Structure 1
Amino acid sequence: MKRYFPFALILFILVLTFIFPSVDFKKTSDPHYNTGDIAWMLMSTALVLIMTPGLAFFYGGMVNKKNVISTMLQSIVCMVIITVIWGIFGFSLAFGDSIGGIIGNPATFFMMKGMLGDATWKLAPTIPLLLFAMYQLKFAIITPALITGAFAGRIRFNSYIIFLVLFAIFIFSPLAHVTWHPDGILSKLGVLDFAGGTVVHMSAGWAALASALYLKKRNDADHAPARITYVMIGTGLLWFGWFGFNAGSAFGANHLAVTALATSTTASAAAGISWIFFDMLRGKKPSAMGTCIGAVVGLVAITPAAGFVSVPHSLAIGIISAVVSNLVVEWRTRTSIDDTLDVFPCHGVGGMVGMLLTGVFANQKVNAGNATGDGLFFGHTHLFFVQLIALVGVSVFAFFGSLALLKITDMISPLRVSAQEEEIGLDITQHGEKL
């Protein structure tokens, strides 16, 4: 039966496309579309999408040669699977009519109904609703892809697909709803997350830690990176795409997008140089890998703060996040936790540092839409404690929720490859391909 399940699933999706054609148009007498905003968001959507192939190169270059294709495919496959889920009911779960401030009604935009014509999203009124949905899709794609670095080289591909589907439905979608939907509980609390510190990086980071603990250590934990040049190419693609990730979250071609672009650039640069300087202070050589990892950590940390802080404070966020993540990476190496590519120290910890520092440096003069107030740096405590509450709540939910999903997946299909398959490598044993 397992053999025919994929074909039955494809047939079911095909039937849905005939039963629920998205032909309903919404017409208003005064649509407030702005062509400049639409153009920028089309570009931002493409920029965020290119981050997933960038991540594939970033991770693929770090693993050993026998697992490069498998690791890269784990990122790329998110683009096809999550897109289908998002189009059927995933967008509704994240942005549909709120059910208790926790999750969206899956029927609200089922099969993308109501997306045509002049429909808009209430917080992005100058662009079509369908464009907003496609932009948010790219965040849903890259989030589970980020997790893959934690279990690189030891997970069955079929089981991974089951896990990423469950994660998208039960972890990502609820977090997107509570944080970014106006009726979400964190949104109402006043939590600031401009582009995904909680929704993307913290959720992926805690899921990565859960995965590393659940799958346990590799049989051969020592490996040489396959292609450091891949890591450098991946860093460039990630940094390039991150402009759409952060600046696009302004939902328009406006001054806020410019601010987010500037803070993202400076935070990443500050983190990259801080990482290698910190390594040098501890007697290490300045490395290409260190520079790339540091730059990405800076982008992670500035993500929740990008549209709420000034450039000087973005530099501080980059420096602090690089040092903290570097220290956590060093600590992780002295434990039995086998987070293969240090996803938790970089994305999880980077996201948490960024969330807290948003509560420190956020300034209403930068973003008047920040109704929660200024941060701790300006003498106000409310926002900082709001961010801290969100950090704790999201951490508990993402970690224990991911552990539960890993257990469920393992019951359906064993997660771990055999020792022999791990020794041969996942490229051959899972995909029949090699470099």
Structure 2
Amino acid sequence: MNTGDTAWVLASAALVMLMTPGLAFFYGGMVRSKSVLNMLMLNFIALAVVTVLWMLYGYSEAFGNDAFAGLVGNFDSAGLAGTVGQLTGPKDHQIPVLAFVMFQLMFAVITPALISGAIADRTKFWSWVIFLIVWVTVVYFPVAHWVFAFDSADGSTLGGWLANRIKALDFAGGTAVHINAGAAGLALALVLGRRKGWPKEPMRPHNVPFVLLGASLLWFGWYGFNAGSALAASDLASVAFTTTTVATAAAVLGWLITEQVRDGKPTTLGAASGAVAGLVAITPACAFVNPLGAAAIGLIAGVVCALAVGLKFRLGFDDSLDVVGVHLVGGIVGTLLIGFFGTTSVNSAGADGLFYGGGFTQLGKQAIGAFSVLAYSFVITFILGWIIKKTIGFRVDAEAEVTGIDESEHAETAYEFGGITGGGRIAGKVSGVSTVLEGSKS
């Protein structure tokens, strides 16, 4: 066992775990104050639900020996059987199997959590939990097998069709995580329908500092997401760390410049969204491109995603927190651009893209990877969402949506508004001095 690599993978798993609470703050700040707790819970519950399923059968379904045509793993490792005390990885870089299991668990947790942003402000909590259980079982675990499960060197263990037959490149989850979640978010947004009053009523973020805090936690955790996917404290991890930083910074600039040209002002929300767009786009490419290629991918993603978030108003679908515009579009951009900026000078296991003499071959493979995951996730999610809607119901009733989903679903509120009287006056004491503050009615 390589103890240095083991330490890095375990630390990376912890970093990726932090991304889910970070995502909760990122999304929570963007919703209205009356639904922030519901948004936090839709994210936080994924840690509980997916962890149990991963232990029972998820890891085996995703990384077990292929059961059928590269589509799904077998269940020989159900209950994590045969993993304790075992090692995995190439010679001189072996780590405990359980370190790998925990690292990949955190990817499985955050992927469905990403979907929740598309259906913010209107979702029943327990309906979401049921959706989580079924979705990771029939969508995420199989797709993770397609993308992340590789054939063993001796051929004794077979993996997924995209990784081994098509050889589409995805280092850390542009397809399995972001395109997968973005397509699912679009499907659920269509199934649940628009929020009451959208798009005529302004539905501004209630706490922009929360948004920036969440984006910063995501950026921090993403180093585990991308550099940790090297599964070793190695030069490749350093490359992924570097390209992740460069692409994210370039995407922030690309998004803010787009806002300045289009709207006349750069915004804090735009900076946070641009950072996430850059992180999404570089995820599949981080170990296959050089720093200049990473900067180009980030800049392109920042501009394209900033423009894409406005499409929901033109097309009429209510993707509440821009999951489609950032994760689906950003994931597609990053996955396809490997076909242009990929270079084997960075990673011999990769491929040369168009700009490095590789022609259109790898671009075609990347397109197959991106759009096959998109189609599968969208169709299955739409069917699943429709079934839940028609049986137990997926969205809260109109009264709960208008008055406050936090109270109706969780019997609590994020903020104490009890001191505000019907006349719009707030009474209180500060340092023993009675004060009366004029304010608007909550």
Same fold at TM > 0.5? yes
Aligned to 1:88: 56
Q: Are 1:340 and 2:308 matched, yes or no?
A: no
Give the AA of the match of 1:185: W
Task: Name the stretch that deviates more: 81-90 or 399-408.
Answer: 399-408
Aligned to 1:186: 162
Q: Are 1:249 and 2:226 matched, yes or no?
A: no
Give the AA of the match of 2:19: M
Q: Are 1:389 and 2:368 matched, yes or no?
A: yes
Paired residue for 1:377, among 355, 361, 375?
355
Unaligned runs of 5+ in 2: 151-158, 415-442
- Superposed displacement of residue 282, structure 1: 1.4
Counterparts in 2 of 1:126-137, with a 5 A limit? Answer: 126-137=94-105
Aligned to 1:64: 32
Give the AA of the match of 1:59: Y
- Are the equivalent residues in 1 in contact too, given 2:191–2:382 (CA < 8 A)? yes
Q: Are 1:203 and 2:171 matched, yes or no?
A: no
Identical columns (%): 44
- Superposed displacement of residue 178, structure 1: 0.7
Aligned to 2:72: 103
Once residues 360 and 44 of structure 1 are traced to their aligned partners in structure 2, the CA distance between those partners, rounded to angstroms, is 29
- Superposed displacement of residue 122, structure 1: 6.7
Once residues 123 and 411 of structure 1 are traced to their aligned partners in structure 2, the CA distance between those partners, rounded to angstroms, is 53
Once residues 368 and 55 of structure 2 are traced to their aligned partners in structure 1, the CA distance between those partners, rounded to angstroms, is 32
Once residues 368 and 322 of structure 2 are traced to their aligned partners in structure 1, the CA distance between those partners, rounded to angstroms, is 25
Distance 1:392 1:124, change over 3 A: farther
SS of the equivalent of 1:368 reads coil
Once residues 241 and 87 of structure 2 are traced to their aligned partners in structure 1, the CA distance between those partners, rounded to angstroms, is 28
Once residues 212 and 407 of structure 2 are traced to their aligned partners in structure 1, the CA distance between those partners, rounded to angstroms, is 25
Aligned to 2:190: 213
Counterparts in 2 of 1:98-177, with a 5 A limit? Answer: 98-99=66-67, 100-106=69-75, 108-120=76-88, 126-177=94-145
Once residues 208 and 141 of structure 1 are traced to their aligned partners in structure 2, the CA distance between those partners, rounded to angstroms, is 15
- Superposed displacement of residue 121, structure 1: 5.3
Q: Are 1:36 and 2:4 matched, yes or no?
A: yes
Paired residue for 2:42, among 74, 81, 87?
74
Once residues 92 and 57 of structure 2 are traced to their aligned partners in structure 1, the CA distance between those partners, rounded to angstroms, is 20
SS of the equivalent of 1:309 reads coil
Equivalent pairs counted in the alignment come to 400
- Superposed displacement of residue 306, structure 1: 0.4
Once residues 328 and 205 of structure 1 are traced to their aligned partners in structure 2, the CA distance between those partners, rounded to angstroms, is 13
Once residues 421 and 232 of structure 1 are traced to their aligned partners in structure 2, the CA distance between those partners, rounded to angstroms, is 28
Aligned to 1:3: none
- Are the equivalent residues in 1 in contact too, given 2:87–2:94 (CA < 8 A)? no
String of CA shifts for 1:235-278, please: whole Å, max 9, x gaps.
11000000000000000000000000000001000001110111
Once residues 366 and 391 of structure 1 are traced to their aligned partners in structure 2, the CA distance between those partners, rounded to angstroms, is 22
Counterparts in 2 of 1:231-246, with a 5 A limit? Answer: 231-246=211-226
- Are the equivalent residues in 2 in contact too, given 1:153–1:422 (CA < 8 A)? yes
Aligned to 1:26: none
Once residues 196 and 133 of structure 2 are traced to their aligned partners in structure 1, the CA distance between those partners, rounded to angstroms, is 27
Give the AA of the match of 1:47: L
- Superposed displacement of residue 334, structure 1: 2.4
Aligned to 1:410: 389
Q: CA RMSD in A?
A: 1.3
- Are the equivalent residues in 1 in contact too, given 2:127–2:393 (CA < 8 A)? yes
Distance 1:394 1:254, change over 3 A: same
Q: Are 1:229 and 2:209 matched, yes or no?
A: yes
String of CA shifts for 1:31-58, please: whole Å, max 9, x gaps.
xx11110111111000000000000000
Aligned to 2:281: 301
Paired residue for 2:256, among 261, 276, 289?
276
String of CA shifts for 1:194-213, please: whole Å, max 9, x gaps.
00000000000000000111
Superposed structure 1 runs of 4+ greater than 3 Å apart: 121-125
Distance 1:420 1:124, change over 3 A: farther
Give the AA of the match of 2:356: F
Higher-Rg structure is 2
- Are the equivalent residues in 2 in contact too, given 1:124–1:132 (CA < 8 A)? no
Once residues 264 and 195 of structure 2 are traced to their aligned partners in structure 1, the CA distance between those partners, rounded to angstroms, is 26
Q: Are 1:355 and 2:335 matched, yes or no?
A: yes
Once residues 361 and 124 of structure 1 are traced to their aligned partners in structure 2, the CA distance between those partners, rounded to angstroms, is 30
